[in-house]
Amino acid sequence: MRVSRMAALIGLAAIVSACGGDNQQAAGTTDTAAVAVNTPAPAAGTATAAPITGTTHEVRMVGDASGYRYEPANLTIKAGDGIRFINVNGFPHDITFDPNTIPAAGRAQLTANMPNQRAELTSQLFTQPDETLTISFANVAPGNYPFFCTPHIAMGMRGSVTVE
């Protein structure tokens, strides 16, 4: 009887180790294959970053009891202007332009003008007050460029830039 219990425990241990042992990752490691599949490549194009030649406008990224929002949410600017996004509170925040909703003619230039992207047309996450990101709209094609905050899109944190 004792031998059959021991055999059953050994068999169970073998089944458990076979079911999950090879797929486990060490704590703190990253599955690079999954990251490579899920992270979009930068937009194709030959544009190089163009400096701001006009006015720099400010947009505040806010999250408080009144909601999550960009202030102002909608801007009309001239080609050559820039926008300085300022993290105020309610973070983390980011700025994401959906490549499928912006003018195709402006995509490569906007990509080149947007520093420190963590994904295509997506800024780094801002987690501290007064962090800023300035994006140049120099050489960006006229049109409407909607954007949103990835962590707060479900809360309606959206905005739009119209380049004249």
**Number of domains present in the structure of the chain:** 1
The reply to whether 5 falls in a domain is no
Mind listing the pLDDT tens digit for each residue in 146-159? 999 999 999 999 99
- How far is 119 from 57, CA to CA, in rounded Å? 24
Is residue 33 included in any domain, yes or no?
no
Structure confidence at residue 46 (pLDDT): 76
Decide if 40 is inside a domain.
no
pLDDT at 45: 58
Residue 22 covered by a domain: no
92 or 36, which is more confident? 92
Q: How far apart are CA 57 and CA 92, in angstroms?
A: 21
User: Which domain covers residue 158, as residue numbers?
Assistant: 56-163
pLDDT at 16 over 60: no
Q: In this predicted model, which residue has the larger pLDDT, 44 or 81?
A: 81
